[in-house]
């Protein structure tokens, strides 16, 4: 009925009916929104809590299992690969099983319900609109398989090299960018088909405008839910791959005529001390390093061990004495000092068997003789194995074994072997000459010499020497907030603030891509307001006379399709342009940063804040984060500013009262989201710092696994690891309770959103 043919009383009745209907519908929207917010909050809190507990136990079980692996496993895999397993793959499991699995079942239920509503309203129009859904499902299945393969390849690449991994991620991100635009085009096509054929049905009188909209949004909602389900399946697939990798990881020696397998491994390690050629010191104080071998050792026992190892004099000369920090891998100490600390660490436990693998090789002649006497006195009554190139250190041995190419060729005391004038005699003579004129060709490193001070026969297998490449900062002191740390370091170094223009300057060869991308993104911002206006014009056409319904409805449906095509391909082009430019920019920034690091003085790297691991991590993560400043988010920023400004202008023109109410509500919700986001960010910083500390503990232990086992430090390492992960675990449990930001945004966009229907005859 046309508004001009109504009497004033009928107009008033129609207006009352319209207002009552809107109040009822808005109330229903509000109830549904609150219900969804409540149920989703409960669902996400529970599943986040459960998954976090599971991942915390998984981390602890994984590091505990690693410390029990055979030495051959550590020879086949690097510490970096274990680091990827401990961090990257567990994080992938978190992403896949936090709430993805539950959302898959929710998606199936919601899409089924939406299809039932659509087909019961009108099965013909629903069938036409749903024809695109199988295409979308087939495409989504293809994408799931493609992304799953990409995730598996990316996982393998992560374990091999970080720089190659960056390329893999970039390629995968480009694939996903194309994938997203195809899905968006499918959604526009669903709307076009529904409105185009819906106009015909309204013209024929088979449906009204409300039923067309109901069918459209039911089919549209079903396809969107299926799309989200496919995305969740992709994440779950990646999580399964990571879980598989974690599960995959989950010559006989005799002592007193008993094989090692007959001994309890922990008991054996507690009674054997090893001092290797390259001593391994851990981050911390001198006292802490010595106490690792005997956690309950008193200060007097530490001092006594230092005296026996001829290390006490230089230790007390330090301002902090035994509480002096040794630095990363003991870099604050000289080679001889590190070896004497390692010898003191071996002596404090009073072991029954001692193994010195060229323990005095880094000492000068004076200190060597003093330390050698201290070792001989401390090891009285113990089985002592000494592997030496300096033959002067084994002159007093009860038995010397000369090994050449894995075979024992001579056995006896020093005097006996000298009298025989064999291989041992020749090497002694060569070393005597080398003391006057050191000639490298006289240093024969193919033979090994073993001495014992008891009558036990001990067969020695090769001990592979492992040099730590893991940089460890202080593990016990809590780290400050990352943002505060960055601000403090910038202030200390008097560094100037960076700007977006500085980053853009690195893209001087790709500046044309940045300009084109921003221009396309700015024009692209007009699509959303134009899309909203098209919706209103289509719905307005359904209220026209029958002769105008077909013409106006189909015309605006075609315009809607055109806007969708421009939206899809515009997004594709500006994202592609900005991603290429940002990738090239990131490579330039990484290269310049690396060159700058190589120019820094040696003292710069002595600072624990400038450890090799921290610098390499910052080089990888900070430069990657910098690219986001001008990646496709820059394009979305240009697009959003344009779209928001135009939308506000249009809204104020057509209904300034409702526009002000909506903008006020939007501002309040945005403020609330921002506050929640800031809190989650602070929690994330604490969690990240704790996980970094736990990772450093794990990697330090894995990199120096032989030292850890020789000192029976497994329990101590696990306890320290659990202590750090407990902080992250507690922070994540807090975060689980407020993971509602996504649903608040969803409520604003879906449940509380009502399309404005511009009908002049009902305008207030």
Q: What is the DSSP string of 317-383?
A: TSTTGGG-B--GGGTTS-HHHHHHHHHHHHHTT--SEEEEESTTTTS-HHHHHHHHHHHHHHTTTSE
Query: Would you state the pLDDT for residue 450?
Result: 36
Position of tokens 């990697």? 699
> Who has greater pLDDT, 258 or 640?
640
Q: What span, in angstroms and rounded, lies between the C-alpha atoms of 664 and 25? A: 21
What CA–CA distances, in Å, run from 703 to 71, 79, 467, 469?
Answer: 11, 6, 8, 7
The residue-averaged pLDDT of 337-358 equals 80
Which stretch of 17-21, 438-442, 585-589, 706-710 has the lowest confidence by average pLDDT? 438-442
CATH number, span 506-630: 1.20.1560.10
- Residue 55 predicted with pLDDT over 70: yes
Question: To the nearest whole number, what is the mean pLDDT of the chain?
Answer: 66
Q: What span, in angstroms and rounded, lies between the C-alpha atoms of 26 and 473? A: 57
Kind of pairing between the strands at 399-404 and 353-357: unpaired
What percentage of the chain carries pLDDT values higher than 70? 48
> Who has greater pLDDT, 173 or 213?
213
CA-closest candidate to residue 563, choices 587, 532, 520: 532
| Range picked from 61-70, 182-191, 536-545, 562-571 for highest mean pLDDT | 562-571
Write the CB contacts of 262 (distance below 8 Å, at least 6 apart in sequence): none
Q: Is 390 left (phi over 0), alpha (psi -120 to 50) or beta?
A: beta
The residue-averaged pLDDT of 694-719 equals 71
CATH number, span 267-452: 3.40.50.300
Residue intervals of the chain classified under CATH 1.20.1560.10 are: 506-630
In a 3-state reduction of DSSP, which class is residue 611?
coil
Which stretch of 90-94, 151-155, 285-289, 389-393 has the lowest confidence by average pLDDT? 151-155
Query: Would you state the pLDDT for residue 428?
Result: 79
Which stretch of 25-29, 616-620, 640-644 has the lowest confidence by average pLDDT? 616-620
HSE, CB side, 13 Å, CA atoms: give it for residue 412: 14
Instruction: Please list the residues that pair with 401 across neighbouring strands.
Output: 411, 450
Give residue 4's Cα distance to chain centre: 65
| Range picked from 158-167, 209-218, 234-243, 551-560 for highest mean pLDDT | 551-560
Query: Would you state the pLDDT for residue 251?
Result: 43
Task: Taking the CA atoms of 267, 271, 276 and 282 in sequence, report the sign of the dihedral they define.
Answer: positive
Q: What does the chain come to in residues?
A: 764
Alpha helices, H only, 122-206: 123-130, 132-160, 162-204
Which stretch of 345-349, 446-450, 681-685 has the lowest confidence by average pLDDT? 446-450
pLDDT digits (tens, 9 = 90+) for 492-541: 556 666 666 777 677 677 778 888 888 888 888 888 788 777 777 777 77
Which stretch of 305-314, 545-554, 660-669 has the lowest confidence by average pLDDT? 545-554
754 backbone dihedrals φ, ψ, rounded to 5°: -125, 125
- Which tokens belong to 230? 């496919």
Query: Would you state the pLDDT for residue 478?
Result: 40
- Residue 356 predicted with pLDDT over 50: yes
Query: Would you state the pLDDT for residue 127?
Result: 73
pLDDT digits (tens, 9 = 90+) for 242-266: 444 444 444 455 666 666 666 666 6
- Which tokens belong to 268? 């054996």
Residue intervals of the chain classified under CATH 3.40.50.300 are: 267-452
pTM recorded for the entire structure = 0.43
In a 3-state reduction of DSSP, which class is residue 575?
helix
Q: Is 473 left (phi over 0), alpha (psi -120 to 50) or beta?
A: beta
Cβ burial, residue 180 (10 Å; 0-12/13-18/19+): middle
């Amino acid at each position: 009925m046309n508004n001009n043919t109504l009497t004033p009383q009928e107009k008033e009745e129609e207006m009352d009916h319209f207002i009552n209907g809107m109040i009822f519908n808005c109330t229903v929207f509000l109830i549904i929104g609150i219900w969804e917010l409540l149920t989703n909050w409960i669902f996400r809190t529970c599943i986040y809590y459960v998954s976090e507990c599971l991942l915390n136990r998984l981390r602890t079980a994984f590091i505990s299992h690693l410390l029990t692996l055979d030495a051959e496993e550590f020879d086949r895999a690097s510490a970096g690969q274990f680091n990827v397993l401990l961090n990257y793959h567990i994080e992938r499991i978190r992403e896949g099983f936090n709430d993805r699995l539950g959302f898959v079942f929710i998606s199936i239920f919601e899409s089924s319900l939406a299809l039932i509503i659509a087909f019961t309203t009108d099965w013909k129009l629903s069938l036409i609109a749903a024809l695109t859904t199988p295409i979308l499902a087939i495409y989504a299945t293809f994408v799931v398989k493609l992304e799953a393969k990409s995730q598996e390849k990316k996982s393998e690449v992560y374990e091999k090299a970080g720089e190659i991994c960056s390329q893999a991620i970039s390629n995968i991100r480009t694939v996903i960018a194309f994938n997203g635009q195809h899905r968006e085009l499918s959604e526009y096509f669903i709307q076009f088909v529904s409105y185009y054929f819906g106009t015909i049905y309204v013209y024929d009188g088979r449906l009204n405008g409300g039923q067309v909209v109901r069918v459209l949004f039911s089919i549209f909602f079903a396809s969107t839910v299926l799309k989200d389900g496919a995305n969740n399946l992709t994440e779950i697939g990646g999580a399964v791959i990571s879980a598989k990798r974690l599960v995959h990881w989950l010559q006989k020696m005799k002592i007193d005529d008993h094989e090692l397998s007959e001994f309890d491994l922990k008991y054996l390690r507690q009674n054997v001390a090893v001092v290797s050629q390259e001593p391994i010191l851990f981050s911390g104080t001198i006292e802490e390093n010595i106490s690792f071998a005997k956690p309950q050792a008193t200060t007097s026992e530490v001092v006594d061990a230092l005296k026996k190892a001829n290390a006490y004099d230089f230790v007390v000369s330090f301002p902090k004495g035994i509480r002096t920090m040794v630095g990363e891998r003991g870099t604050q100490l000289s080679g001889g000092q590190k070896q004497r600390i390692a010898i003191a660490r071996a002596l404090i436990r009073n072991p029954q068997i001692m193994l010195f693998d060229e323990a005095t090789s880094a000492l000068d002649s004076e200190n060597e003789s003093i330390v050698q006497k201290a070792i001989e006195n401390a090891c009285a009554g113990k089985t002592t194995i000494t592997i030496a190139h300096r033959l002067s250190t084994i002159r007093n041995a009860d038995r010397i074994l000369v090994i050449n190419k894995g075979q024992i060729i001579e056995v006896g005391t020093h005097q006996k072997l000298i009298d025989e004038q064999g291989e041992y005699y020749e090497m002694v003579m060569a070393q005597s000459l080398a003391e006057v004129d050191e000639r490298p060709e006289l240093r024969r490193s193919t033979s090994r010499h073993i001495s014992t001070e008891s009558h036990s026969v001990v067969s020695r297998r090769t001990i592979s020497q492992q040099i730590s490449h893991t940089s460890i900062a202080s593990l016990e002191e809590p780290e400050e907030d990352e943002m505060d740390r960055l601000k403090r370091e910038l202030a200390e170094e008097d560094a100037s603030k960076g700007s977006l223009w500085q980053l853009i300057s690195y893209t001087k060869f790709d500046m044309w891509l940045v300009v084109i991308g921003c221009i396309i993104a700015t024009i692209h911002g007009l699509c959303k307001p134009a899309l909203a206006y098209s919706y209103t014009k289509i719905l307005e056409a359904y209220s026209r006379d029958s002769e105008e319904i077909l013409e106006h409805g189909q015309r605006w449906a075609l315009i809607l399709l055109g806007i969708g095509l421009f939206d899809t391909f515009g997004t594709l082009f500006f994202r592609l342009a900005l991603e290429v430019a940002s990738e090239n920019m990131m490579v330039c920034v990484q290269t310049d940063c690396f060159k700058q690091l190589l120019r820094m003085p040696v003292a710069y790297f002595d600072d624990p804040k400038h450890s090799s691991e921290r610098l390499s991590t910052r080089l990888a993560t900070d430069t990657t984060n910098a690219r986001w400043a001008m990646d496709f988010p820059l394009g979305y920023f240009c697009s959003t500013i344009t779209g928001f400004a135009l939308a506000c202008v249009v809204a104020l023109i057509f209904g300034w009262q409702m526009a002000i109410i909506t903008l006020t509500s939007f501002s309040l919700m945005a403020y609330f989201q921002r506050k929640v986001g800031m809190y989650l960010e602070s929690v994330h910083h604490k969690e990240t710092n704790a996980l970094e500390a736990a990772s450093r503990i794990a990697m330090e232990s894995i990199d120096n696994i032989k030292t850890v086992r020789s000192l029976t430090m497994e329990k101590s390492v696990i306890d320290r690891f659990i202590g750090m992960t407990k902080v992250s675990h507690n922070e994540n449990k807090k975060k689980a309770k407020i993971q509602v930001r996504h649903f608040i945004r969803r409520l604003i966009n879906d449940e509380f959103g009502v399309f404005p229907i511009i009908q002049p005859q009902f305008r207030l």
